[in-house]
Amino acid sequence: MPTLEERKLALIRAIIPLDREEDILEMEAAAAELQENIRARQLVIGYRPSGTTVLKQQFLDRLRHTLHDLKHDEFVTLSDFEQRAADW
Protein backbone atom coordinates (compact mmCIF):
# COMPACT_ATOMS: atom_id res chain seq x y z
CA MET A 1 0.00 0.00 0.00
CA PRO A 2 1.39 3.41 -0.93
CA THR A 3 2.38 5.82 1.80
CA LEU A 4 0.49 9.03 2.41
CA GLU A 5 3.28 11.01 0.73
CA GLU A 6 3.19 8.76 -2.33
CA ARG A 7 -0.57 9.15 -2.58
CA LYS A 8 -0.31 12.95 -2.33
CA LEU A 9 2.33 12.98 -5.08
CA ALA A 10 0.10 10.81 -7.27
CA LEU A 11 -2.70 13.35 -6.87
CA ILE A 12 -0.37 16.18 -7.85
CA ARG A 13 0.82 14.22 -10.90
CA ALA A 14 -2.81 13.67 -11.90
CA ILE A 15 -3.55 17.41 -11.71
CA ILE A 16 -0.45 18.74 -13.53
CA PRO A 17 -1.49 17.60 -17.05
CA LEU A 18 -4.92 19.24 -16.82
CA ASP A 19 -5.13 22.05 -19.35
CA ARG A 20 -8.83 22.74 -19.80
CA GLU A 21 -10.30 25.68 -17.86
CA GLU A 22 -13.35 23.58 -16.92
CA ASP A 23 -11.16 20.87 -15.38
CA ILE A 24 -9.19 23.43 -13.36
CA LEU A 25 -12.43 25.02 -12.14
CA GLU A 26 -13.70 21.60 -11.03
CA MET A 27 -10.47 20.87 -9.18
CA GLU A 28 -10.59 24.28 -7.49
CA ALA A 29 -14.19 23.68 -6.41
CA ALA A 30 -13.31 20.22 -5.10
CA ALA A 31 -10.34 21.62 -3.16
CA ALA A 32 -12.47 24.41 -1.68
CA GLU A 33 -15.14 21.91 -0.63
CA LEU A 34 -12.51 19.68 0.97
CA GLN A 35 -11.04 22.63 2.88
CA GLU A 36 -14.51 23.61 4.12
CA ASN A 37 -15.21 20.04 5.23
CA ILE A 38 -11.93 19.95 7.15
CA ARG A 39 -12.69 23.33 8.75
CA ALA A 40 -16.24 22.21 9.61
CA ARG A 41 -14.95 19.10 11.38
CA GLN A 42 -12.89 21.33 13.65
CA LEU A 43 -15.21 24.34 14.01
CA VAL A 44 -16.75 24.70 17.49
CA ILE A 45 -20.29 26.09 17.22
CA GLY A 46 -21.43 25.63 20.81
CA TYR A 47 -21.18 23.80 24.09
CA ARG A 48 -23.33 21.16 25.76
CA PRO A 49 -24.56 21.68 29.32
CA SER A 50 -21.75 19.35 30.41
CA GLY A 51 -19.24 21.81 28.93
CA THR A 52 -18.13 19.58 26.06
CA THR A 53 -17.88 21.20 22.65
CA VAL A 54 -20.33 20.82 19.78
CA LEU A 55 -18.52 20.69 16.46
CA LYS A 56 -20.21 21.93 13.30
CA GLN A 57 -19.77 18.57 11.57
CA GLN A 58 -21.32 16.68 14.50
CA PHE A 59 -24.28 19.05 14.47
CA LEU A 60 -24.76 18.66 10.70
CA ASP A 61 -24.51 14.87 10.96
CA ARG A 62 -27.19 14.79 13.67
CA LEU A 63 -29.36 17.16 11.64
CA ARG A 64 -29.08 14.94 8.55
CA HIS A 65 -29.96 11.90 10.64
CA THR A 66 -32.99 13.69 12.11
CA LEU A 67 -34.18 14.83 8.69
CA HIS A 68 -33.81 11.26 7.41
CA ASP A 69 -35.90 9.98 10.34
CA LEU A 70 -38.60 12.58 9.68
CA LYS A 71 -38.65 11.78 5.98
CA HIS A 72 -39.18 8.08 6.75
CA ASP A 73 -41.72 8.65 9.54
CA GLU A 74 -39.29 7.32 12.16
CA PHE A 75 -40.18 9.60 15.04
CA VAL A 76 -42.42 9.84 18.10
CA THR A 77 -44.81 12.74 18.53
CA LEU A 78 -44.94 14.58 21.83
CA SER A 79 -48.44 13.25 22.60
CA ASP A 80 -47.31 9.66 21.88
CA PHE A 81 -44.29 10.19 24.11
CA GLU A 82 -46.47 11.57 26.91
CA GLN A 83 -48.79 8.56 26.64
CA ARG A 84 -45.86 6.14 26.81
CA ALA A 85 -44.37 8.03 29.74
CA ALA A 86 -47.69 7.83 31.60
CA ASP A 87 -47.47 4.03 31.38
CA TRP A 88 -44.02 3.96 32.99
Q: Which carries the bigger pLDDT value, residue 37 or residue 10?
A: 10
Which residue type does 31 have?
A: A
- The span from the CA of 14 to the CA of 26, in Å, is 14
pTM for the full predicted model? 0.50
Count the Cβ atoms, other than its own, within 10 Å of residue 58: 13
Q: Looking at residue 68, what is its pLDDT? A: 92
- Using DSSP's 3-state secondary structure scheme, residue 66 falls into helix
Contacts of 37 (CB under 8 A, 6+ apart): 57
Domain borders along the chain are 4-86
Q: Looking at residue 42, what is its pLDDT? A: 86
